[in-house]
Amino acid sequence: MSRTVDPKQLNGLALAYMGDAVYEQAIREHLIYTGKTKPKRLHVSATAYVSAKAQAYLVESMLGQELLTEEETTYYKRGRNAKSYTKAKNADTKTYSQSTGFEALFGFLYLTGKSERVDELIAWCIREIEKQ
């Protein structure tokens, strides 16, 4: 695949678009590999990880624990501050913005080839959600 766009130049919503897919796929794989196979159960289980509320909680925790580098925080903020023209179905504006930032962070990491860091943060997110 030819790459004609520098991921560092993408706007926050484009990064979030990619990050949403990256994070969602990782969570789906995690759930499948833990033995959940019924579609309804998978969907309900996935919501605990991928809802705007869950993602906002996770990114607040990452920031509070100073888990993110300065560069990662910059791309989180790029997504968080992006002007979205869609509304969240089940979240307030602040939660939805934080969730968008969370997804933008994963989009940035994925598109810049930082797969080890993606895996590290996703593993952290899974542990964090499962502690609850």
Catalytic site positions: 20
Dihedral sign for Cα 48, 50, 56, 59, please: positive
Cα separation, 91 vs 108, whole angstroms: 23
The CA-atom distances, in angstroms, between 1 and each of 4, 15, 59, 108 are 10, 18, 31, 18
The one-letter amino acid code at 44 reads V
Cα separation, 10 vs 106, whole angstroms: 13
